[in-house]
Each structure stands twice: as structure tokens, then as C-alpha cells.
Structure 1
Amino acid sequence: MANSSDPLLCSQSDNVLAFGYEEEQHPNPNDQHLPSLDSTIERCIGDFGWPQFLQALLASFAWAFDAQQTFISVFTDAEPSWHCTTTHQLHNTSTCNVFSNNICQIPKDSWTWDFPKHTSIISEWGLECAGSIMKGLPESSFFMGCLVGGLVLATLADSSLGRKNMIFLGSLVMSLSALSTAFSNNIWIYSALRFICGCGRAIVGTSALVLSTELVGKKWRGHAGTIGFFCFTLGFLSLPAMAYIIRGSSWRIMYLWTSIPTLLYCIVIHLLVYESPRWLFVRGRKEEAIATLKSMSSLTLNIMSFSSVALEEKCNVDFWSTLKMVVEQRWPLRRLAIVTVIGFGIGMVYYGMPLSLGNLAYDLYLSVTLNALSELPAALVSLAVIGKMKRKTTVMVFSVLSGVCSAVTSVLMMIKGIFIFKERIQMGVELVSFFSACTAFNVLLIYTIELFQTCVRNSTMSMLRQAVVFGGVFGPVLAAGGRDNGSVSFCVFGLVIGFCGLFVVFLPETRGRPLCDTMEEEEHRLSH
């Protein structure tokens, strides 16, 4: 444990403690509440300068690779188009004409794929007549891997490894498993590797978001968090571009093109990204925290002595202690239960709807591109409302709007016959639904960061993302089942997200509040 003469770099008067609170005289030492790092971060490295921006950008770029591995199956696992090659007469009627909507009822020698068989796992491995569970197995395995990886690794970013190391580890697992996926020779190996990829992916986005927001003060916290949302959009947009360029080529090339850049990114993270000074402080690694603050600071700072024994004793926890701190008290457990319910509903739409785009009567490349592009205005809207609207109101409004639009999409799909611009209206309403889900998801992530403390922040964020992913687990099955009746999947999407979004009314508002670092500090705030 470091001694009391350790330096902290901060340009403040002598009556200000190292953690940013003025020293107060209390007749009873038990009345003192634990300090926060918020004001120290703001005073020592400024509000939001170029050093913080570059660090947040480097950390947040992990979201681009997260998006690629999450939605890559939209193209690699797609149901390819086909056409008749010969005419078999059945009561003087073409077999293809009678059963043209069901490929499994057509003799195999009377049809062929429009593109080479290796363009999709469905055509390469003869899965065109497999059930929806089998077709959705690889992507469901990916989401199950996200669940398992999140549950097993969630608290390591808080307890022992830190945010930076978890981004590195997750990105490395994700890249190596994606690279290995390119050499799969059956759906079982393919699904197993997708599971491993999901395990690595589970901790990447969460750690990147927490790290980028902990490098800045409360004024710029939401803005730093939205950098990751823009990076996610970039990664999502890269998929239809790559798929269009290599159309007709093997689906394996998609995995090669996404895994190699991720591997290079791991090197960048290891060499250039700093660890969160907040996490270093609460873990008792004061010298490293000071060095990080000094490296990012653009100010001329004075040296002050400080003591952080109390903070270390409260936050120097292990894997199980982190979980115990959340579940042993009523208020953090209640908050966590509510945000996971909301996350489940949002996740079913956020991950399931892009996988169901093939069920719409619209070009797959264009529809995926439009959905990916809708992430950009969602990030911009999130950036705009973060500083102006209440978190509760924003999450509820966009969740309900997404549910209504998804239900309208379902109704449009059930309407028989063709009317003018039906396909365009259907696509437009679907885009509004996905855009609303994206915005609700973005704000919910920032909201959750503000609801929980530094000691458990990464763990609770991971649990939220597991709830989102758990909702996404049902997406591939709904998408595969929706190939026969797509309106059912969109109806389920609308009902679930609309209902789950209403639970936000039971959470406290956090807009404009500083971040707390310990559970005791939050309890002190709640008691006053």
C-alpha cells in the first residue's frame, strides 16, 4: 500500500483534497462521506481536450469490430436466391411454378442457386431445407457465447485486469476465433467457433465504453460515450460494402477481412491506450494513476500529497466481492434488475431486426445499408438528447416508438395485395423502429454508467449487455422462422420492446449528477 507522501498532480489550493473535495471539519469522523474522483479528473486533465479525445477514440474503435462480428451472419448465413433450370410436368403444370415458394418441394435437379454454392453456409452445406433452429444455430451460438463470456468475465475489468486489458483480451479472442471460422468445414465447428467469438466480444464494447467515459468529467461523459456508437455504425456499414465487393465469392473471405484488422487493433490497444485512472485509484495503484493523468494532461500541475487508504479499503475487491456488492443491498439489485429487463427488450429488436431484413420484400444489400446508416442519426440524436433530456424520458419514448413502428411493419407485411409504394413504406417504418431501438440502447448505456459506481460499473454494464444479448439470442430463431411468415417476428419485436421500455419509470434520474466511486458514497447521497 502506498504511503501518504505519494504525489497527486493537481493545481488546487492546499485546502482541497487530492480527490477533488474541500476538506471539511466534522465532529464525528463517521459523518464524512467518501470522496469522488470526478472533480479531480476535470481539474487535472481539463474537461475534454485532444489527449482525452484520442484516448476515447482509440478505445471506442473496438466497437467497429464488435459490430462486424455481431452482424456478419446477415451475409454469411443468408438464404441465397435460386432459379429453375428444367421444367418437370405435373398434371401439365411446371413443378417450379407450383411450388416456387418452397424450395424443399422441388426436385433438386430442377433448380440451382443464382450464385456459386460457397457464397453462403446455407448453400455450401445444404441447409436450405433445415429447420429454423438449425439455420439460426450459428448466430444463436454467438449470442450464447456473449452471455457466457459476459457472466464469466464481467467482473474482471473491475476486480483484477482493468478496462484496457479486457479490451485487448476480448479483441484478441474475437479476432483469432473469427480467423479460425474461415476454415470451418461444417455447421457444428462453425457454430462452436461463433460461440468462442461471442465470448470474446462480450467484454469488448462494455470495457471500451466505460474506459472512454471514465477519462473525462461529467460535462463530457455522454459525448465521450457516443464516440463508440459512431464507431459501431462504421463497423456495421463496412459489412454491406464488403459483401457487395466480394459478391459471388466465398463467405469465408468476409471472416478473413474482418479478423485481420481486429488483430492489428489489438497491437494498437496494447501499445497506445492508457488504463482508466479512476480504476487505478480505487485499486490502490496510485503511482500508475498519477502517471496516466500526467500523460494526458495539457496543464502545468503542482504536486500535492494525499491519502487514499479509505478508498482502497472499500474498493480493493476481488471477483466475488464485486458481485456481492451489487446483490447484497436492495437499491443496486433493484436498479440492475430493471435495466436488464429494459435491455432484454431493446436487445431483441436491436440484434434481431437486422437478421430479419431478408424477410422483407426489399433488396438485402440496400436494406442492411439503410439500417446501418440509421445508426448514425441515432448516435447524433443520442448526443443531442444526452445533455438536454432526462434519461428516463428518452429511454421510454424511443422504446415505445420502436415497438409501435415494429408492430406497424408487421401489419403492412400481413396486408394482402400490392399497393403503391408498399415496399418503401414498409422499409421506412422498419427503419424508424430500428433507429428508435438504437437511440434507446445508446442512452440506456450512458444511463447505466451513471446509475452505478466505479467499483462495480464495468460489472453492471456487462450484466446489462448480457441482458441485451439474451434478447438477441431469440433474434436468429425469429428471423429464420419469419422466412415463412415474417410478420410474426416483427410483431414479437414490437410487443417486447414496447412493454420492457415502460420499466424505466422505476429508476432514479441521473442527468447532471457526478459519478460516485463507492457504494457508501451513493448510500450517503440517497440518505440525504
Structure 2
Amino acid sequence: MDELQELAVQPGVEQLQEANAAAPRLELTVEEVIEEHVGSLGFGQVVHVFLVSLAWMFDAQSTLVTIFSDAEPSWRCTGSSSSSCSSSSSAGMCGLDRGAWEWVGGRKSSIIAEWDLICDKKFIAGIPASLFFIGSLLGSAAHGVLADTYLGRKKTVLLSCLLGAITSFLTALSPNIWVYTLLRFTNGFARSGIGICCLVLATEAVGRKWRGQVGQYGFFFFTVGFLSLPIIAYPTRTSWRAIYKVLSLLPLAYSILVIPFISESPRWLAVQGRTDEAIKVLTKFAKLNGRKLPSNLSISNPVNTDDTTKAESLWSRKWAARRIIILMVAGFGVGFVYYGVQLNVENLNFNLYFTVGVNALMEIPAVFLGSILLSYAGRRVLFSASSYIAGASCILCILFAKKAAKSKGSFAQLGVEAVGFMAASMAFDILYVYCVELFPTNVRNFAVSMLRQTLMLGAAIAPHLVSLGRLSPSISFVMFGALSIFSGLMTIWLPETRNAPLFETLEQQEKEEKRSSAPAAEMEMVA
């Protein structure tokens, strides 16, 4: 009887298997799989974005550590020569004998104190920060190519964190200013892959509705890293070398404990032809989201092996080259203002730790306000408005400069500067999100790296303007304000990308954008 039942059931099983085999394959793009089956943003993607975005803290720390390590500390007259010292105080320390004064925090409190980068050596103090940003500029190009071609987003983040940890530790061992400058350059080169890859790796895992918010989420952790600097720097204020040693441990721990749990971008895997791996990543996200992918699902490969799509360059299409050039020009001004205003806090006549803390706190409303506004407004309008506000605030700081110079600081000037920095931070964050949405997967990381290069180029020049601001704060504020307003004007020539899909190749994006713009052109002709 059992054998008869088994025989009766067997044909049904075979028919089911045949039916499954005969079922048509469901071939979708990664964008369609995320929107229709995985979910635009679920628990799996939230965990992924959180783990990826943690690395932004190290990006902030390595970038802004020079606020403390390269600062000019306070000095005081020595007891034996206090009378002669006070009589020559109008000339500053440069008019005194070296034994007539001393650094308040000791000679190890900063590189300026240890290597006496004052008076005729004053402008040497800005060289390490400039070389750091030049290293970031060159490193952005290298990491962008690696992330788009050979290594992918995840492995590039790992490489950047490991090299950043090593170079930070070596910086603490610098015997002189020139070795220190070289190591700051290498550290800038090493860490440049963190920001560009983390942003792309996070946004490529979510649907179009949440791209703006996810892009801003990473900058929240950049703010956390910024806020952590005064906490790390204050206990180590008597030794700038100790700051670098502490900062070298954090990315090393992240590389060992966190990166193994991060997934590679399914979009990048699909572009590389590794569609089976892309499905595994999407299956993992779907499972954590409480969903299940169809059994007959396959990912369409957006890159044909028999054409030149794989060799597409950002410069091979006029529209793409035009967009990146405009973004780079805007990025230069934004980088100049964003990093320059942070480094310029020493020209506000306030306690350095207090002003850095205030600026770091202003990053928090910038992130949250930017996330909310990106849900309702276009990227182009938000970036321009933020740039205008930042520029106007920098110029307004000049009005309070004289009052600040007469007293120990003007809270009105600090307040205006803080608002300007918040607006500059919003413009900085939004420009990154805008860049991600303007270009397809096969050149996206390279495009972000090109933007990063010009941001770093502006940042590389900013320390010298800050040094000039020690002589005349008004000059630095005018330059910051003018460049910020100029950057806001540049986006007039860029398209809006809010709620637009992410494309995989330049060819695909060009076809789709022409197709979507055709009905609009026809409507204009009819009108």
C-alpha cells in the first residue's frame, strides 16, 4: 500500500520539478530587485549602512587632528624676565629673547611649540596640513579607480583603514617638521578611500527614496569623529604625538572587528559580471528584511562582454565630462570653505577646545536638517541655498571682528560663524549625495573621487589663508564668503536628481535620460 502511495505521489513531484524548470527566468536589474523584492530600506540595509558609516569617524579624525596638533599654543613670560617681557609685549614673542618666554603647555604640546614654527618660520606651520590635503587629492583618484575596477568598494575601505592606521602611528614618531609633513601627506593619501567608498557602498544598497538620507547618515558619523577629537586631544594636550597614537588604533580595530561583516555592493558585483555574488548579497538583505527573493530570479548583466561598455570612461561622454567639471569647480569652493572655517577657529579669540566643540555640535543639526530637506526639496536648490548662507555668514563675521579683538571674544561673531559652518557642512554633504546620483555605477566611485580631489585641493589652500588670517582675520573671512557664494552659482548648469533611478552604465544613463527628456521636449513644441 505504501509503495502504491509512493508511486502515486512521485509523478506529482516530477511534474512540480518540471514546472519549476520550465518557469520563465525573472531577469531584473539590481535597482528593480531592491525596489520590488528586497525593500527600499529595511533592517538588513540599516545594519549594513551603520557598519559602513562607522568608518567616517576615522576620516574626520585624521583630517581635523591638525586643529590641535598644529595649533599655536599660548605662551607666557618667564618669572626671571617678566618685566622686560611685558614692556616688549606689543611686539609679541618675536621681539623677545628665547629665554624670556615659554609655551604654556610645554614644548611637546604641538608641532609649532616643539619645532618653534613662529616668527620667520610661521608659514611653515601650514605646509603639513596642505600636503595632507594634496595627498588626499591624489589618493582619491587612486582609490576611485581601485573601487570601480579591481578591488571594489569593500576591499578599498579595508585598504584605506589599514594604511591610515599605519601612517598615523608613524606620524607620531616624526623627528622633524619635514618628516612630519611627508607622513601627513601619506596619511592623506591613505585615508582618502574611506569617505568616497563608504558613501557609495552605503547608497548603492538602498532604494531611490532613501538615498539622500543614507548619504547624510555617513556624515553624522563624520560629526561623531569630529566631536571625539576634543575628547581625545584634551587628555593628551601636553603631547601631540599621543593624539596620533590613539587615532591609529581605531581604524585598525575597525578593520579587524567590523569590515568582515560588511557586504560588497551588489551593483558593483553586477557590473563586474559577478551576478551570482550579487544575488547572494541581495538574498542576505531580503532575509534580514523578512522577505524572500523569487527562486527563478536572475540579475541582468548591464555590461556586455562584446562591446566597449566595460572600457567606458567618465571623459568618454561629453555630458558626463561637463557634469564632473562643474561639480569639481563647485567642490573646490566648498572644500575651501568647509575645511578652512574649521581651521580658522583659532582666529576667533575663543578657547580652542570650546570653539572646536561648538563647530562639531553644529554638524549634528546640519546632518539632520539636510536629511529632512532632501526628502522634500531638490539637491540643486538645497546646495545653492546652503552655499549662499555659508558665504553670507563668513562675510558677516567681519562686522564682529573688531569687537572680538577688543575683548576676549565676541559671542555674536562665534554665533554667526557657527551658523555659517553649519550651512557649509550642509552644502558639503549634499554635494556628495548629488554626485552619487549624477553618475552610473561603472564610474560612480571615480566621479566621487574626482569631486573629492577638488574638495581636498580647496582644503589644501585653506591652511595658508588661515595663517594669513592670523595677521588679518577679515581677509580670510572675505575669501571664504566669496568662494562659497561662487560655488552655489555653479549648479545652475546641472540637472535635478531627486527620485531619479541609479543607472549602471554611462550608455544606459544616456539612453534613459534622452528618453525621459523627449516627452518634455514634445510638450514644449506643442505649447
Deviation at 1:47, TM superposition (A): 2.1
Deviation at 1:153, TM superposition (A): 2.8
Partner of 1:111: 101
Q: Distance in 1 between matches of 2:217 and 2:307?
A: 28
Contact 1:478 1:489 (C-alpha < 8 Å) held by counterparts: yes
Amino acid at match of 2:27: A
Deviation at 1:98, TM superposition (A): 3.1
Q: Residue 466 of structure 1: SS of its match in structure 2?
A: helix
The structure with more radius of gyration = 2
Runs of 4+ with >4 A deviation: 14-17, 86-89, 314-318, 414-419
**Alignment CA distance shift 1:194-1:294 (3 Å):** same
**Alignment CA distance shift 1:417-1:486 (3 Å):** closer
Partner of 1:226: 216
Contact 2:384 2:487 (C-alpha < 8 Å) held by counterparts: no
Deviation at 1:102, TM superposition (A): 2.4
Q: Distance in 1 between matches of 2:510 and 2:254?
A: 40
Deviation at 1:16, TM superposition (A): 8.3
User: Does 2:246 correspond to 1:262?
Assistant: no
Alignment of 1:118-267 (within 5 A): 118-247=108-237, 249-267=238-256
Deviation at 1:269, TM superposition (A): 4.3
**Alignment CA distance shift 1:79-1:317 (3 Å):** farther
Q: Distance in 1 between matches of 2:26 and 2:368?
A: 37
Amino acid at match of 1:301: L
Q: Return the TM-score normalized by structure 2.
A: 0.89
Deviation at 1:400, TM superposition (A): 0.7
Deviation at 1:94, TM superposition (A): 3.9
Once superposed, what is the RMSD of the aligned Cα atoms? Answer: 2.1
**Alignment CA distance shift 1:194-1:398 (3 Å):** same
**Alignment CA distance shift 1:310-1:122 (3 Å):** closer
Partner of 1:339: 327
Q: Distance in 2 between matches of 1:412 and 1:390?
A: 34
Amino acid at match of 1:333: A
Q: Distance in 2 between matches of 1:161 and 1:513?
A: 28
User: Does 2:386 correspond to 1:406?
Assistant: no
Deviates more, 1:260-269 or 1:300-309: 300-309
Partner of 2:370: 382
Q: Distance in 2 between matches of 1:435 and 1:314?
A: 49
Amino acid at match of 1:484: L
Contact 1:44 1:293 (C-alpha < 8 Å) held by counterparts: no
Q: Residue 18 of structure 1: SS of its match in structure 2?
A: strand
Deviations 1:239-279 (A, max 9, x none): 011122233x2111111111101101111344111100110
Partner of 1:5: none
Partner of 2:16: none
User: Does 2:287 correspond to 1:300?
Assistant: no
Contact 1:83 1:111 (C-alpha < 8 Å) held by counterparts: yes
**Alignment CA distance shift 1:79-1:341 (3 Å):** same
Q: Distance in 1 between matches of 2:239 and 2:298?
A: 60
Partner of 2:475: 488
User: Does 2:497 correspond to 1:510?
Assistant: yes
Deviation at 1:44, TM superposition (A): 3.1
Q: Distance in 2 between matches of 1:180 and 1:416?
A: 39
Q: Distance in 2 between matches of 1:231 and 1:310?
A: 33
**Alignment CA distance shift 1:138-1:417 (3 Å):** closer
Partner of 1:448: 435
Q: Distance in 2 between matches of 1:222 and 1:68?
A: 24
Contact 2:59 2:195 (C-alpha < 8 Å) held by counterparts: yes
Deviations 1:202-253 (A, max 9, x none): 1111100000001111111122212211100000000011122233x21111
Q: Residue 102 of structure 2: SS of its match in structure 1?
A: strand
User: Does 2:411 correspond to 1:424?
Assistant: yes
1:82 pairs with one of 75, 86, 93: 75
Amino acid at match of 1:261: L
Amino acid at match of 1:300: K
Deviation at 1:152, TM superposition (A): 2.7
Q: Residue 112 of structure 1: SS of its match in structure 2?
A: strand
Contact 1:282 1:312 (C-alpha < 8 Å) held by counterparts: no
Contact 2:302 2:504 (C-alpha < 8 Å) held by counterparts: no
Q: Distance in 1 between matches of 2:87 and 2:503?
A: 66
Deviations 1:4-47 (A, max 9, x none): xxxxxxxxxx788422xxxxxxxxxxxxxxxx531212233222
**Alignment CA distance shift 1:43-1:185 (3 Å):** same
Higher share of residues assigned helix = 2
Q: Distance in 2 between matches of 1:135 and 1:77?
A: 7
Deviations 1:318-364 (A, max 9, x none): 7xx45xx2112211011101111111111001111111111111111
Contact 1:282 1:315 (C-alpha < 8 Å) held by counterparts: no
2:30 pairs with one of 20, 26, 37: 37
Partner of 1:352: 340
Q: Distance in 2 between matches of 1:444 and 1:417?
A: 35
Partner of 1:479: 466
Q: Residue 296 of structure 2: SS of its match in structure 1?
A: strand
Q: Residue 202 of structure 1: SS of its match in structure 2?
A: helix
Alignment of 1:64-75 (within 5 A): 64-75=57-68
1:499 pairs with one of 486, 507, 525: 486
Contact 1:314 1:518 (C-alpha < 8 Å) held by counterparts: no
User: Does 2:354 correspond to 1:366?
Assistant: yes
Contact 2:69 2:240 (C-alpha < 8 Å) held by counterparts: yes
Amino acid at match of 1:342: A
Q: Distance in 2 between matches of 1:163 and 1:297?
A: 21
**Alignment CA distance shift 1:417-1:435 (3 Å):** closer
Aligned residues: 490
Amino acid at match of 2:112: I
Q: Distance in 1 between matches of 2:327 and 2:252?
A: 33
Q: Distance in 2 between matches of 1:382 and 1:131?
A: 41
Deviates more, 1:273-282 or 1:79-88: 79-88
Q: Distance in 2 between matches of 1:316 and 1:483?
A: 54
Amino acid at match of 2:396: V
Partner of 1:313: 305
Partner of 2:87: 97
Contact 2:270 2:299 (C-alpha < 8 Å) held by counterparts: no
Q: Distance in 2 between matches of 1:454 and 1:315?
A: 17
Q: Distance in 1 between matches of 2:497 and 2:27?
A: 25
Q: Distance in 1 between matches of 2:24 and 2:303?
A: 19
Deviation at 1:177, TM superposition (A): 0.1
Q: Distance in 1 between matches of 2:453 and 2:31?
A: 28
Q: Distance in 2 between matches of 1:276 and 1:50?
A: 17
Deviates more, 1:148-157 or 1:52-61: 148-157
Deviation at 1:422, TM superposition (A): 6.4
Partner of 2:514: 527
